[in-house]
């Protein structure tokens, strides 16, 4: 009997998370803490008795390295891995690489808050969460979900906003409620799906 397992993990802390910079499609690596968070994620999943058949990640280093560390901790180094920019973080456009405090000085606290926390207002030259969903969801439906429904135990390591887009669909959240949903770095969220792709159960392993 298939358990239709889907596990989502946000990458560990990146160098730009640490520096309070807008990252988006920029490609900084993990910090030492970020690597530790990835190790902890692997240990938690192993302690729960999980193993995987297939993994998906973004085209960005911080997510790929988080996935590699998780699989190494689990002793699953040879797993098939699919990398695709559809799972990339939201593109912050002109904000990318800027310190968040500097951005507030330049555009004002309220405007930056709208860009960060609205559903459909993109920053200049970038993507809103709605745009990110439009990019991420088709890939999920066409490539990831069929694996889960076939009974392949599936691990997805990506980013705060690309994963939020998937969680919005899985948990049937509204544009308002998804904005309040926080995702801790390196904390696995474990879904078991019904045969019709609805969620049977969800377990968040955030510490």
Q: Tens of pLDDT along 145-175?
A: 999 999 999 999 999 999 999 999 999 999 9
- Share of residues in the chain with pLDDT > 90 (%): 90
What's residue 117's pLDDT? 86
What is the widest separation between alpha-carbon atoms in the chain? 56
Q: Per the residue annotation, which of 37, 89, 127, 159 is the catalytic one?
A: 89
Q: Domain count for the chain, please give it.
A: 1
Kindly state the DSSP code that residue 14 receives in the 8-state scheme.
B
Average pLDDT score over residue span 55-72? 98
Tell me the residue range of the domain where 42 lies.
5-204
pLDDT of 2 strictly over 80: no
Least confident of 5-9, 63-67, 113-117: 113-117
* CATH number (domain holding residue 50): 3.40.50.1240
pLDDT of 207 strictly over 70: no
Going from the C-alpha of 29 to that of each of 18, 26, 64, 158, 179, the distances in angstroms are 11, 10, 10, 13, 26
Average pLDDT score over residue span 49-58? 97
89 flagged as catalytic: yes
Taking 3-state DSSP, the helix, strand and coil percentages for the chain, each rounded to the nearest 5, stand at: 45, 15, 40
Average pLDDT score over residue span 84-90? 97
Closest CA to 165 of 195, 141, 193: 141
Are 159 and 165 spatial neighbours (Cβ–Cβ below 8 Å)? no
Comparing 3 with 184, the larger pLDDT belongs to 184
179 — pLDDT class (breaks 50, 70, 90)? confident
159 flagged as catalytic: no
Q: Per the residue annotation, which of 11, 37, 127, 159 is the catalytic one?
A: 11
């Amino acid at each position: 009997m298939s358990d239709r397992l889907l596990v989502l993990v946000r990458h560990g802390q990146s160098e730009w998370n640490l520096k309070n910079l807008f990252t988006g499609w920029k490609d900084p690596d993990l910090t030492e803490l970020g690597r530790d968070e990835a190790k902890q994620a692997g240990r938690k999943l192993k302690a729960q008795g999980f193993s995987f058949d297939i993994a998906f990640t973004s085209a960005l280093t911080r997510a790929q390295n988080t996935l590699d560390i998780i699989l190494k901790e689990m002793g699953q180094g040879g797993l098939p891995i699919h990398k695709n920019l559809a799972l990339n973080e939201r593109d912050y456009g002109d904000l990318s690489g800027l310190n968040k405090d500097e951005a507030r000085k330049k555009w004002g606290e309220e405007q930056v808050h709208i860009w960060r926390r609205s559903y459909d207002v993109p920053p200049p030259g970038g993507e809103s969460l709605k745009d990110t969903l439009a990019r991420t969801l088709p890939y999920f439906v066409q490539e990831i979900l069929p694996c889960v429904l076939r009974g392949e135990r599936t691990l997805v390591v990506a980013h705060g906003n690309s994963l939020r887009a998937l969680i919005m669909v899985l948990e049937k959240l509204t544009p308002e409620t998804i904005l309040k949903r926080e995702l801790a770095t390196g904390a696995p969220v474990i879904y078991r799906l019904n045969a019709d792709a609805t969620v049977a159960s969800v377990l968040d392993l955030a510490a």
